[in-house]
Structure 1
Amino acid sequence: MAEAIVSRVLEELSSVLKEEVSRIINVCGDLEKLASNFQAIKAVLEDAERQQLEKGKASVRDWLNKLKEVSYDIENVLDEWSTAIFKSKLEKKKVCSFIPSPSFCFNRGKLLLKTAHKISKLNGRLDVIANERERYGLKELSVEKPIRREQTTSLVNLAEVCGRVKDKERIVDILLNEGGIYVIPIVGVGGIGKTTLAKVAFNNEKVESHFEKRIWVCVSDPFDVMRIAKAILTSLGKEDAVQKLVELEDVLKLLRDSIKDKKFLLVLDDVWSEQYERWGLLRDSLSSGSVGSKILVTTRKETVARTMGCTTLFPVEQLSEEESWLLFCQIAFLGRSNEDHENLREIEWQSVLDSEIWELEVAEEVFPKDHVIEKDKLIGLWMAQGLLKGTQHRDMEMVGEDYFNDLSMRSFFQDFEKDAIAGIIRCKMHDIVHDFAQFLTRGECLIMEAGSSSSIEGFNESARHVTLMIPNSSDGCATRIYDARNLYSLLVDSDGVGEHDVDLLKLFEKQKFLRILKSQSARINISGCGQLRSLPCRMGNLINLRHLRNVWTDCVEFMPKGMEKLTCLRTLSSFVVDSGGKGAALSELGNLIHLRRKLGIRGLRNVRDEREAEKAQLRNKKGLTTLVLTIGLTYHDKRGVSEASVLVLEALEPPLGLESLQIWAYKCPTPTLGVWPSWIVSLTNLKFFGLGNCVDVERLPPLWKLPSLESLCVSKIGGVKKVGVEFLGIETSSLSPSSSSSSVVAFPNLNSLQFWDMEEWEEWDYGSRGEEDIKIMPRLSSLVIESCEKLKMLPDSILQSTTLQNLEISGSPVVSSRCKGEYQPHISRIPKADIW
C-alpha cells in the first residue's frame, strides 16, 4: 500500500523538477535529495511489506506509517505549488498575454520561498526515515523472474469431482452438436472450477467416441502461437516433424494439413490474451477441420471470449453450500473417516483467530462490509487519487477498467450486477478482502458517525479518507470533520437533509487538498436534484472536468454557455437545448470528442436548424454506446414539433457502434413526412431500441434488418393502428412466392418485445403468407402487451413460436379473452403466461 503513494510522489517530483521551479537552486537541490531518498526507500518497500505481513513486526508497520505520512505531506506541498502556478497562469492570461503584472511576479517569488522552506523541513523528516531502514534490517530484494502459471492436463479423477452435474450435461450436449466449428467459452473467476468442468467433459465417454481427435493444451500467458501449435501437433503424433520446423509459417501449415477433414475437440485451458491477431493465426489453421469440430476454452475474462468470436458465454457459478462443504471435507479431511469429519468439524483455527487482522474497530472502515460498489464511481475515486495514468491511446478510464477487470478475475470483488450494454456495473467486496484492506490502511481510512462519542473520540486528525455518517435522528454534530486538514476524500452519507449537513463553504475553506467529495445529501449532489433549475454559469472554466453526471435533473432548462470548452469531458448524462438563447447551443457538443457511454439530449424541438445538429458531430463520438433523444424538454412533453425537428433528428446521426437508442416525446408534424431517421437501419450493433410518447406517428420504423437487436420497447405511439409488413421493413411485393425464404429473417436476435399504452392499435398481422415467406423473431422469449385496449388478435407466428418462455398480457380485453379460449392450446405450451 505504501508503494502506491511513494511511486506517485516520485512521479510528481520528476514532473516538478522539469518545470521552472528547478531554476531556484535551493529548491532544486532539496527536490533532488527528496527524489534520491524516495528511490532508496522504494527499493526496500517490498521487504518492509513482507515483514509486516509475514512476521507481524510492529516496528516495521510504524516505519511504513511514518513513510506514508511524510509522503502525503510532500504530495500536498507539490499540489499547493502546482495549483498556485495554474491559478497564476490563468490570472496572467486575463491581465495580458505577454506582460506579467508586478503582483504576479511578487506572489510567484513569495510562493517559491514558502515552498522551499516546507521542502527543506520535509527533507529532514525523510532523512530520518531513510536511515531507519537499516536499523530494521530492510533489504532490497532481488527481482525474481515471473513464475509461469502451473500447467494443467486433461487427467481427472471423476470420483473426486463435486457438483457441476447440470453444467457437465450442458457442455456435453453442446460438444455433441453437429454444427460447424465454433468456440465454446467457459468463463468464471479463479478457482471456481472451469478447468475441472472442462476435464469432465473432455473425458466423457460419449465425447471420446464422438471425436476423432481430442487435444488438451494449457495456454496461460502469454498466448504463444508457436508453442500452442506445436503442442497440438505433438498430440496428433507429429512430434518428429515438428522438431524439424523453425518458422511459424511452416508449423501452421503442418497443423492445417494434419487436422484437415478430421472431427476434433481442442481444449485451450487458461486463456488470458485479448490479442485478436494471435488467436486469428491459430484459428485460420484450425478451420480445415471437419464440420462438428469444437474448441473448448476456459478463461477468467469475458473479453477474451469475445475476442475469440464468441457471442454466447458459458458462465460457471459458485457451488452450492452443500457442494462446497463436501469439496472442503474431501481436501481437508483426506484419508479420514466420516466419524473423524464430525469430530474435526468444530475445530478452532487458533492461528487464524489470533491474527491481528481481526483486531480492528468499526471506526477504521472505508466502505462498510457488503457495501454495493459502483464500478464507474470506484474508477473515478482511483482517478481522483492519482492512481491511474492515461496514455496517448488509452484514457485513464480505460486503464481503470483494466485494473477493475484484473481485480475481478483475481476474486477481489464478488456479487456482480451486470447490464446488457456496459457489462459489470456494481459489485461487492468479500468480507475477508475487506478486512485485509482495513488492516493495510488503518489510521488512513475511517468512519465517523455524528452523535457517536466513540466514533468522534477515535477520530484521527491525520486521516486521509473519511466516511461521515449523519443519521437523521442524530443529536450530535459533525464539526470535528473540519479539523481534519489533510483530507483527500470525504464521503458523506446522510439519512435526510437537516441541521447536520456539511457546510460546504466552511469545508472548502479548511480542506485544501480534498480531491473527492461524495454525498447523499440533496444540498451537495447534482444527480437526482429534481428541483435544480440551472447549473453554474461559469462551468466552462472547469477545463479539466471529466465527468458531469446530471441525471434526473428535469427542471434544468438549459446548459450554461461555454460547454464547448470542457474538452476533457468523458461523461455527460444530459444536455438540454433551451429556446431562449440563454444557454449553450447544441453545436457546442461538437468539441466534446471524448464523450463515452451514455448521452441524453433534451429539448431538440428548440433546434431550428439542422446544421446546428450536424455540428454536434455525434457520429464521430465513437465511445458512445447509449443515446437518448428527447424532442421535448421532458419525456412527456408533447408540444408542437416543426418540420425542422424531423431534419434535426436526421442530422443527429450517431456512431455506427451504438448499442442502445431511445427516442421520446416525438410528434410527427404531418403524416406524409418521412417520420423516422434513415440512419436507424444502419445501426448494426444496436441491442436495445425504445420509442415512447410519440403522438401522431402512424408507422413504426423498419427495424427488422437490425441483426443485433435483442430488446424492443414501444409505448404510447398514438397514431399506430396496425403493425404489419411495414414493421418488418419489407414491401408486400417482396413477399411473393418466388422470394427466397432462406434469405429473409425478421428480427433475427430479438428476445424481448414490449408494447405499452398503444391506445389506437387494433391489428397485428404479417399477412397470410408471413410464416411461409419469412422467419419472424426466431429467438423471441418474452412478450409483454399492456394497456392496448383495441388490439384484436395475436399473429400466428407468435402463437406458434417454440421459443417463447414468458407472455404477459393485461389491459387488452379482446386478446386476453382469446388467450383463454381459442388460443389456449398455444398458450398452454408457454412456461410462464400471465393473462389478465
Structure 2
Amino acid sequence: MLHFLGWLFPSFNFLFYDSHVKEWVDELKDAVYDAEDLLDEIANQDLQRKMETDPQTSAHQVWNIFSNSLNPFADGVESRVEEIIDRLEFLAQKKDVLGLKQGVGEKLFQRWPSTSVVDESGVYGRDDNKEEIIKMLVSDNSSGNEIGVISIVGMGGIGKTTLTQLVYNDESVKKYFDLEAWVCVSEEFDLLRITKTIFEATTSRGFTSDVNDLNFLQVKLKESLNGKKFLLVLDDVWNENYNNWDRLRTPLKVGSNGSKIIVTTRSENVALVMRSVHTHRLGQLSFEDCWWLFAKHAFENGDPSAHPYLEAIGKEIVKKCQGLPLAAKTLGGLLHFKVQADEWDNILRSEMWDLPSNEILPALRLSYYHLPSHLKQCFAYCSIFPKDYQFQKERLVLLWMAEGFLQQPKSKKRMEEVGDQYFHELLSRSFFQKSSSRNSCFVMHDLVNDLAQLVSGEFCIQLGDGWGHETYEKVCHLSYYRSEYDAFERFANFIEVKRLRTLFTLQLQFLPQSYLSNRILDKLLPKFRCLRVLSLFNYKTINLPDSIGNLKHLRYLNVSHSDIKRLPETVCPLN
C-alpha cells in the first residue's frame, strides 16, 4: 500500500497540466481508499479474535456484538482482495502509458532567478520592516566570531525578496559594508554555483563560468573576503541540510566582524539550520497598502479616480488578496486596460485557480510540491475547513489520527507526538498561521485554503446552504456548519455515498445549540460504514442509535456540548 501511496502524492504535480493524469490520480485514490477500508476490516476482525481469546475481557459479549463482522476467509473477502490487486496492477501499468515516474514531478512553472534590482515606487507598507532589518544589519549582534545570519520568513508571495531588495539598495547599508553579493539559491542548493556567484560578485577578476573546481573557488573566495566586511543575500532558500550550509559557510568565516548574511525562506526550519541570530516573520500588508499596490497595476498611473465605478469592485477584489502583495499585483495587472465593470466583476466572482495568466497559485503550489507525501495528505485534508475558520492544533491532530494519516513511529513516540510534529512542520512552512483573535487557534490564509481545495478535489467538500455538485460518489470527507434545525433533506443527496470517512460539524463561537433530525441518525448514519470521524458537536438532543456499533472504522466521536444522556453499549467495542 505504501508503494502506491508513493505514486499518489508526487503525481499531484501533474494535476495542473493534464486531465488524463488527474483522471488516473482519481482512479488510484478510489483503489487506495477501497484497499484501506478492506485492510481495516480485516484488522478489526483480527482484534476481535484477540479480544475473544483474552481471558481478561468479556469475550462472548464482544463476539456477540460483532457477530456480523467480517471473516477474512468468508463473505467474498478473498475476491475483494483480488479485485483491488487487479485494479492497482492495471493502474501501475497505466502510469507507464502516461509517462509518470515515481518521485519525478513536472516543473510547475518558469521561475526566473531574482536579482537585487527593485522599483521602490511600486513597494507599499514595508517601511517599518525595512528599518528593522537595516538596524540589525548595522549593529554588532553576531555571536562571537560567527557571521550574523538574519532570516526573513514568510509564505510564498508575501514580499520577502522585495523587502530584501529595499534593504540591499539602501545607501546606509552600502556605506556600511565593503562588499556585497546577491545569490538566488532556489530549490536546488548547488554549492558550486552559489560559491561561484559569490566569488564573481566580490572580486574584480572577471567571470569564472568555465571554472568547476569547488576547492579552487573556495580558496579564492576566502582570499577575496579576508578581512572585509561583507553583506551576502541568499534569496529563496529551501535547503534544510545543515552540512550543505556548513560547507558554504566555511570560506565566509574570514570576513571582518560585522559581516552579515540575509536569508529569505518560506520555512522556519531553514532559519534554524542556518543558525539565525534573528528571524523576521514577514506579515501581510494592511488593506490600504494592498489597495494602493493593486491600484498601481490596475489603473493608468495608479489613479482610480478616472474610473470610480470600478473602485468599489476593485476593493472587494483586494479583500480576496488578504494582504498578499503577489496577489494584489497579479490581479491588478490582469485588469489593466479593462474598463468594463462586468470584466472586473467576473474576476471578483472567479475562483483563484480559474483565472487566466495566474502566477499566484503556482507560487503557492511550489510550497506544496516540496512537502513530503505524508504532509501533503494532512494538508489536503484541511480543505474541510472554510476560509477564516479557526481550528485547534490538538483537535486537528486527533482527526489526522482517526483518518490514519500519521505514520507509526519507530521510536517510542506516542501518535499524538507524531501529529504534533506534522502540525509544526506545516506551521513552519507557512501553511498555517496563528490566529490573531484566539491565542489557542490557527487559521489558513485564504489563498492557502484555495490551494488545499484544489489538491483535494472532489474528495473533500464543505456543505453550505444552496451547495450543489454534479456528483457525490467521490466524496470522502464532508464538513458543514450547523443550522438551527438540520433536517434529513439537507443530507439526502449523500445517502448513496459509499465511502464517506468524515462527517464533521464545524464549530462556531456563540452559536446556540441546534436540533438534528432523528432520521439522519437512524436512516442515514448507518449507511456510512466507512466513517472514521463523526462530529455531532453542540446538538441539543441526540439519541445515538445502536446501529452506530456497525461503524467498525469509527475512531473519532465528538458529541460534546450536546444534551446526550448516554452512549449505546454498542459503542464500547469500537476502537
Range of TM-score over shorter length: 0.5 to 0.7
2:193 is matched with 227
Which residue among 132, 143, 153 is the counterpart of 2:115?
153
Q: Please tell me whether residue 413 in structure 1 is matched to residue 425 in structure 2.
A: no
Q: Please tell me whether residue 381 in structure 1 is matched to residue 422 in structure 2.
A: no
Task: Specify which structure has the higher proportion of strand.
Answer: 1
The correspondence of residues 112-151 of structure 1 with structure 2, limited to 5 A, is 112-114=72-74, 117-120=76-79, 139-141=98-100, 146=107, 150-151=112-113
Q: Is the 8 A contact 1:219 1:270 kept in 2?
A: yes
2:460 is matched with 441
Offset of residue 369 of structure 1? 4.1
1:488 is matched with 532
CA distance, structure 2, for counterparts of residue 371 and residue 146 of structure 1: 32
Amino acid at match of 1:381: L
CA distance, structure 2, for counterparts of residue 245 and residue 153 of structure 1: 22
Q: Is the 8 A contact 2:502 2:532 kept in 1?
A: yes
CA distance, structure 1, for counterparts of residue 247 and residue 299 of structure 2: 46
TM-score (norm 1): 0.47
Which residue among 473, 494, 500 is the counterpart of 2:542?
500
Q: Is the 8 A contact 2:505 2:535 kept in 1?
A: yes
Cα separation, partners in 2 of 1:501 and 1:121, compared to 1, 3 Å: same
Offset of residue 318 of structure 1? 0.7
Offset of residue 222 of structure 1? 3.4
Q: Is the 8 A contact 2:453 2:460 kept in 1?
A: no
Offset of residue 249 of structure 1? 4.5
Q: Please tell me whether residue 77 in structure 1 is matched to residue 46 in structure 2.
A: no
SS in 1 for 2:71: helix
Q: Is the 8 A contact 2:200 2:207 kept in 1?
A: no
Cα separation, partners in 2 of 1:145 and 1:129, compared to 1, 3 Å: closer
CA distance, structure 2, for counterparts of residue 45 and residue 152 of structure 1: 27
Q: Please tell me whether residue 279 in structure 1 is matched to residue 251 in structure 2.
A: no
- CA RMSD in angstroms comes to 4.8
Offset of residue 74 of structure 1? 3.4
Q: Is the 8 A contact 1:74 1:119 kept in 2?
A: no
Q: Is the 8 A contact 1:373 1:428 kept in 2?
A: no
Amino acid at match of 1:500: I
Amino acid at match of 1:387: F
Q: Is the 8 A contact 1:47 1:139 kept in 2?
A: no
Which residue among 464, 487, 501 is the counterpart of 1:464?
501
CA distance, structure 2, for counterparts of residue 171 and residue 68 of structure 1: 47
Cα separation, partners in 2 of 1:366 and 1:337, compared to 1, 3 Å: closer
Cα separation, partners in 2 of 1:249 and 1:408, compared to 1, 3 Å: same
TM-score (norm 2): 0.65
CA distance, structure 2, for counterparts of residue 272 and residue 260 of structure 1: 28
Offset of residue 440 of structure 1? 4.7
Offset of residue 494 of structure 1? 1.3
CA distance, structure 2, for counterparts of residue 521 and residue 50 of structure 1: 46
CA distance, structure 2, for counterparts of residue 329 and residue 75 of structure 1: 51
CA distance, structure 1, for counterparts of residue 257 and residue 195 of structure 2: 20
Q: Is the 8 A contact 1:223 1:272 kept in 2?
A: yes
Q: Is the 8 A contact 2:542 2:562 kept in 1?
A: no
Task: Specify which structure has the higher proportion of helix.
Answer: 2
Amino acid at match of 2:346: Q
Q: Is the 8 A contact 2:230 2:256 kept in 1?
A: yes
2:126 is matched with 164
Q: Is the 8 A contact 2:28 2:91 kept in 1?
A: no
Cα separation, partners in 2 of 1:379 and 1:227, compared to 1, 3 Å: farther
Post-superposition Cα deviations, 1:187-236, rounded to whole Å, max 9, x if no partner, equal: 21111111111100100111112211111111223333333222211111
CA distance, structure 2, for counterparts of residue 394 and residue 203 of structure 1: 51
2:290 is matched with 324
CA distance, structure 2, for counterparts of residue 303 and residue 246 of structure 1: 30
SS in 1 for 2:151: strand
SS in 1 for 2:184: strand
Q: Is the 8 A contact 2:531 2:551 kept in 1?
A: yes
Q: Is the 8 A contact 2:434 2:441 kept in 1?
A: no
Q: Is the 8 A contact 1:230 1:242 kept in 2?
A: yes
Q: Is the 8 A contact 2:44 2:552 kept in 1?
A: no
Cα separation, partners in 2 of 1:150 and 1:418, compared to 1, 3 Å: farther
Unpaired segments ≥5 residues, structure 1: 1-6, 13-38, 55-59, 96-102, 359-364, 526-538, 546-836
CA distance, structure 1, for counterparts of residue 112 and residue 80 of structure 2: 50
CA distance, structure 2, for counterparts of residue 277 and residue 189 of structure 1: 25
Cα separation, partners in 2 of 1:250 and 1:518, compared to 1, 3 Å: farther
SS in 2 for 1:270: strand
Offset of residue 76 of structure 1? 2.1
1:616 is matched with none
CA distance, structure 2, for counterparts of residue 189 and residue 485 of structure 1: 39
Percent identical among aligned pairs is 30
Offset of residue 403 of structure 1? 5.3
Cα separation, partners in 2 of 1:256 and 1:43, compared to 1, 3 Å: closer
- Residues matched between the structures, number: 464
- Farther-moved stretch of structure 1 (81-90 vs 263-272): 81-90
The correspondence of residues 576-615 of structure 1 with structure 2, limited to 5 A, is none
Amino acid at match of 1:374: Q
CA distance, structure 2, for counterparts of residue 329 and residue 274 of structure 1: 38
CA distance, structure 2, for counterparts of residue 266 and residue 339 of structure 1: 43
Cα separation, partners in 2 of 1:158 and 1:469, compared to 1, 3 Å: closer
Q: Is the 8 A contact 1:385 1:488 kept in 2?
A: yes
Offset of residue 129 of structure 1? 10
Larger Rg: 1
Offset of residue 164 of structure 1? 0.5
1:452 is matched with 487
Q: Is the 8 A contact 2:13 2:106 kept in 1?
A: no
CA distance, structure 2, for counterparts of residue 456 and residue 489 of structure 1: 16
The correspondence of residues 477-626 of structure 1 with structure 2, limited to 5 A, is 477=518, 478-479=520-521, 480-494=524-538, 499-500=541-542, 502=544, 506-507=547-548, 509-521=549-561
Post-superposition Cα deviations, 1:414-466, rounded to whole Å, max 9, x if no partner, equal: 4546999xxx9633452645654575524323346564344243443532210
1:788 is matched with none
Cα separation, partners in 2 of 1:452 and 1:469, compared to 1, 3 Å: farther
Unpaired segments ≥5 residues, structure 2: 57-62, 314-340, 355-382, 462-474, 566-571
CA distance, structure 2, for counterparts of residue 158 and residue 217 of structure 1: 20
2:151 is matched with 185
Offset of residue 139 of structure 1? 3.7
SS in 2 for 1:446: strand
Post-superposition Cα deviations, 1:712-760, rounded to whole Å, max 9, x if no partner, equal: xxxxxxxxxxxxxxxxxxxxxxxxxxxxxxxxxxxxxxxxxxxxxxxxx
Which residue among 346, 363, 373 is the counterpart of 1:350?
346
CA distance, structure 1, for counterparts of residue 140 and residue 133 of structure 2: 14
Offset of residue 397 of structure 1? 6.3
CA distance, structure 1, for counterparts of residue 438 and residue 452 of structure 2: 25
Q: Please tell me whether residue 290 in structure 1 is matched to residue 292 in structure 2.
A: no
Q: Is the 8 A contact 1:46 1:141 kept in 2?
A: no
CA distance, structure 2, for counterparts of residue 53 and residue 378 of structure 1: 33
CA distance, structure 2, for counterparts of residue 177 and residue 354 of structure 1: 48
Offset of residue 8 of structure 1? 5.5
Post-superposition Cα deviations, 1:766-797, rounded to whole Å, max 9, x if no partner, equal: xxxxxxxxxxxxxxxxxxxxxxxxxxxxxxxx
Which residue among 375, 387, 390 is the counterpart of 1:372?
390
Cα separation, partners in 2 of 1:331 and 1:145, compared to 1, 3 Å: same
Post-superposition Cα deviations, 1:166-196, rounded to whole Å, max 9, x if no partner, equal: 1112222222224554112212111111111
Amino acid at match of 1:111: N
1:674 is matched with none
1:88 is matched with 49
